Structure 1
Amino acid sequence: MIKYDVAMGPFAHNANSSVRIMYTVLLTLLPAALFGVYQFGLSSFVVLLVSCLAAVLSEMACLILMKKSWKACLDGSALLTGMLLAMSLPSTFPITLTIIGSVFAVVMGKQIYGGLGQNLFNPAMLARVMLLICFPVEMTRWATPTPLDFSHSLLTVPEGWLHFDGMTAATALSTERKLPVELFNIFFGQQAGSLGETSAIFILLGGIYLLYRRIIHWAIPTSFFFGLGIPALIAHLINGQQYLPFWNEWFSGGAMLGAFYIATDLVTSPTSVRGQLLYGAGCGLLVWLIRTFGSYPEGVAFAVLIMNAASPLIDHYMRPAVYGSRSLKEQKS
């Protein structure tokens, strides 16, 4: 007679689905995106719109070619990829290159691996790195904010707000790294950069809401900020004239967007809490190393892609215990 060791699963369910998660994340990104349009003008809205449309249409084309239901392109994943890519681009980025980047993100970063849930690398960051390597001049041409003026009784629209070729300037990370930027300017976008680099307060609020809804886990954002902040703090204490303070590293560039929206990608991050802690800390440390000693002023995309490649290895050595497994029962006995 065979003696079976029955292991019952918990079969826990909640109201979340992949579609609901995607659109919830999109909604939390919307305030930061709208603030970016307010700051940089009509050109940023065009970049957002074109990137999102190109992502959805390219996914639809891939689904039709693979003889699958084209309605799957409406699940929110392609739309989220397009928005994340747009938020990492300059507000005056050329439309043609925006389309190329968005199509590359969906086709080469997602569909070529088998579609949703199969990709090894974050599609938006894969496209951003491709654009940065192929078109470095266009990718580092950051526009100066020209926000709408509500200080008077009538709305004042600055001249540069309606134009597609704004005045360029250096970001907080690409100028003199010895000079910290005031915290107020970082939080409220009073500096040049992409949409995702100048809306720290809105991205932070959106990330807190995602944590509250348990759509993302606290392990990756927390370890990301520790991995970025601890070496920055030590270096600043050693030589405050050469290295920026940790809060400048946290709230400048794409660190906030990377910690809450990119590194926390459910597909490309580890599954166990221990693995997520290691993964997030690795992302943060690599961001600081690339910013400080690398040739690029921003390192979030490179750091995330490197840790995406290491994610399967982290999962292999930090695999969570299977519910009902013999080893788990032996540990409790």
Structure 2
Amino acid sequence: MTLILSSTSWMMRQVIYALALGIVVSYYFFGWGIVLQIVLGVITAVAVESAFLAFRGRDIISSISDGSIILTAILLAISIPNIAPWWVIIVGISFAIIFGKQLYGGLGNNLFNPAMLGYVFLLISYPLQMSTWPINFLSFDQALEVVFNLSNIDAISGATRLDEIKNSLSLSNSIKQLEIHFPSQVWINVGFFFGGLYLLFRKIISWHIPVSFLVGIVITSVLLWISNVDLYIPMQNHIMLGGTMLGAFFIATDPVSASTTINGRIIYGFLIGVLIVIIRTFGGYPDGIAFAVLLMNMTVPLIDVYTQPKVFGQ
């Protein structure tokens, strides 16, 4: 038991280390909001997990020490707008831990990715707060004022880049009329890409899900773009905008809720990529990573059954 806990804790730390570069890049462009969201998320995660474990009569220290709730808190905190009101991350983390993890029996038993379950719950419940992002770097004082509702955020906020493109296309503008050049989004994705390479190098994750995930995005976006170059976003923008690299290396690769067979991982990752482009293009939300991951989480038992290696003679 101690060996399993130690191994899990080590893996969770490696994933957190790998997230650091993307978080630092996000801080460079948008400031202290992301730090406040992470701090609030981690504190809430520890408090809610401890309370629920105490209610169930389970050991609190060992469960918290494995690092899984810290990782869940960080993933959700960096996925939501970093100027979201303080209560958004608290509500989201609480929902993620209770309904995404503990009600299934704790770590290793959950069907859905807890962070993405919390994200979707927030997106559906609080669309205004979840669609307002900073447009400039915020100092610590500015971030504190905005997150704790002490000042007006209208002057420092705007829509996501994918949302701007989607809204512009809905007004019958063509892709050629848009200037799709967003260095902050590109560099944040680059940060998470290198973090993902670190995870591959340390053998925390295998290549099957990230590569098939990105291939699914590339093939689907290229086919759409070829069908109408004036209407659909080019492949490179699907790759470098939104949370693509975060999704490919850190979210879809969740070892509990993802497929466990080699062929299953390839199918799982590829279909997530396909769904992301479909949701971004035809859905009501600008970035479909969370929805795509949760939809594919539901199919994992079926995928695993039909991709298990066959034993000779059976």
Give the TM-score normalised by structure 1. 0.83
Residues 126-176 of structure 1 show CA distances to partners (whole Å, capped at 9, x for unaligned) of 0000001110111001111327xxxxxxxxx69956752361122221112
For the 8 Å contact 1:43–1:163, the answer to whether it is kept is no
1:30 to partner: Cα distance: 1.7
Q: Partner residue of 1:182?
A: 181
Instruction: Name the CA shift for 1:97/1:158 in 2 (closer, same or farther; >3 Å).
Output: closer
Q: Partner residue of 1:96?
A: 87
Q: Partner residue of 1:256?
A: 245
Q: Partner residue of 2:10?
A: 20
**Secondary structure in structure 1 of the residue aligned to 2:233:** coil
Please say if 1:62 is aligned against 2:61. Answer: no
Q: Partner residue of 2:133?
A: 142
Alignment of 1:280-319 (within 5 A): 280-319=269-308
Q: Partner residue of 2:195?
A: 206
1:124 to partner: Cα distance: 0.4
Please say if 1:44 is aligned against 2:34. Answer: yes
1:34 to partner: Cα distance: 2.7
1:255 to partner: Cα distance: 1.4
Instruction: Name the CA shift for 1:162/1:119 in 2 (closer, same or farther; >3 Å).
Output: closer
**Which stretches of structure 1, 4 residues or longer, exceed 6 Å deviation after superposition?**
none
1:41 to partner: Cα distance: 2.2
Q: Partner residue of 1:82?
A: 73
**Secondary structure in structure 1 of the residue aligned to 2:107:** coil
Q: Partner residue of 2:228?
A: 239
Percent identical across equivalent pairs? Answer: 39
**Secondary structure in structure 2 of the residue aligned to 1:175:** helix
1:35 to partner: Cα distance: 2.6
Distance 1:126 1:313 in 2: 20
Structure 2 counterpart of 1:111, which letter? Answer: Q
Distance 1:181 1:22 in 2: 35
1:60 to partner: Cα distance: 1.3
Distance 1:162 1:57 in 2: 22
For the 8 Å contact 1:180–1:245, the answer to whether it is kept is no
For the 8 Å contact 1:56–1:74, the answer to whether it is kept is no
Residues 83-116 of structure 1 show CA distances to partners (whole Å, capped at 9, x for unaligned) of 0000110011111121011111111100110001
1:18 to partner: Cα distance: 1.0
Whichever of the two has the greater Rg, that structure is 1
Structure 2 counterpart of 1:54, which letter? Answer: T
Distance 1:320 1:20 in 2: 29
Residues 38-74 of structure 1 show CA distances to partners (whole Å, capped at 9, x for unaligned) of 3222232111110111112211112211222111212
For the 8 Å contact 1:51–1:102, the answer to whether it is kept is yes
For the 8 Å contact 1:40–1:161, the answer to whether it is kept is no
For the 8 Å contact 2:280–2:287, the answer to whether it is kept is yes
Structure 2 counterpart of 1:138, which letter? Answer: Q
Distance 1:320 1:105 in 2: 33
Distance 1:200 1:258 in 2: 10
Distance 2:107 2:31 in 1: 33
For the 8 Å contact 2:131–2:160, the answer to whether it is kept is no
For the 8 Å contact 2:133–2:159, the answer to whether it is kept is yes
Alignment of 1:212-231 (within 5 A): 212-231=201-220
Question: 5+ residue gaps in structure 1?
Answer: 1-12, 148-156, 189-198, 322-326
Residues 176-229 of structure 1 show CA distances to partners (whole Å, capped at 9, x for unaligned) of 2433623744322xxxxxxxxxx1111000000111111111110111011111
Q: Partner residue of 1:9?
A: none
1:269 to partner: Cα distance: 0.8
Q: Partner residue of 1:154?
A: none
**Secondary structure in structure 2 of the residue aligned to 1:271:** coil
Question: 5+ residue gaps in structure 2?
Answer: 147-152, 167-174
Give the TM-score normalised by structure 2. 0.88
Count of matched residue pairs: 294
Distance 2:59 2:90 in 1: 23
**Secondary structure in structure 1 of the residue aligned to 2:164:** coil
Residues 275-305 of structure 1 show CA distances to partners (whole Å, capped at 9, x for unaligned) of 0010001100000000000111110000000
